[in-house]
Amino acid sequence: MSPTQTAQTMDGTSLARRMVEEAAAEAAKISRRTGTSPCLATVLVGEDPASVTYVRMKRTRCAKAGIQSRHIALPAATTTAELIDTLNGLSNDPEVHGILLQHPCGPHIDERAAFEAIAPEKDVDGVTTHSFAAMTFALPGFVSCTPGGIMRLLEEYDVGLAGKHAVVVGRSAILGKPVGMLLLSQDATVTYCHSRTADLSAIVREADIVVAAVGRPRLIRGEDIKPGAVVIDAGYNSGNVGDVDFNAALTRARLITPVPGGVGPMTIAVLLAQTVEAAANQLGFQEL
């Protein structure tokens, strides 16, 4: 790209809307033919304002897509054992098809132990080790929602991944690590970076695809973006700021996601789509 060109913005909002419409149509078919609507259970520990808002938004989106939602609000003092009991109960409840544990749950909760209490067939948020293994080995299962949304965006914009160098900045268990595995499964060459990576700028400069998912505002500088690269900003920081210096990257990238309106809407769209898929699997629904 020449210095006067600007990158094409990847519109996650429009794509997510289409995905939700497709999920809603499928949910309606399941409801008509089985007499049961897909149901997502959301579990929230405490009253963190951001978490309360996120859960409310997800429940609203469920309602618009014809997906029932069951909300379990637990007190902040809930122990790990009590949370696991709740999740076990939902896993064994045939009327619940998907389970979402809103996190973080609080420093006193063993989140990994809690995640593992979710039955794999109901892990529509893709947070269990079973789901991570499925992503790693390209086996049937549910993907982590944000990585799944990223991959769907790349597909929508015809980004060829085979042989490309993808740099993932971030190593969380539900974003950085799984998105790297999904990229690898599409024959990309993947480099993981993180907060302690030496000379991060030099590595980013070699990337054909950059996935920023570290949670630090504008950590990725525009001048470090390789001309013509694809930039996926999965960060969200105070003030609607991503992990990439968006304005500076515009004149170098070929494709870039905005914040907001890029990866964020895709996360919820994947969650709803996977809830409908989980319901279809559990109800034995097959398209005629």
**Where in the sequence numbering do the catalytic residues fall?**
58, 102, 125
Q: In what order do the strands lie in the sheet with 255-256?
A: 8-9, 255-256, 230-233, 209-212, 165-169, 189-193
C-beta separation of 248 from 223 below 8 A = yes
Q: Residue 68 corresponds to which tokens in the numbers above?
A: 């029932």
Q: Residue 1 corresponds to which tokens in the numbers above?
A: 């790209």
42 forms bridges with which residues in the sheet?
71, 100
68 forms bridges with which residues in the sheet?
39
Q: Residue 124 corresponds to which tokens in the numbers above?
A: 């529509």
CA dihedral 76, 81, 82, 88 (to 10 degrees): 130
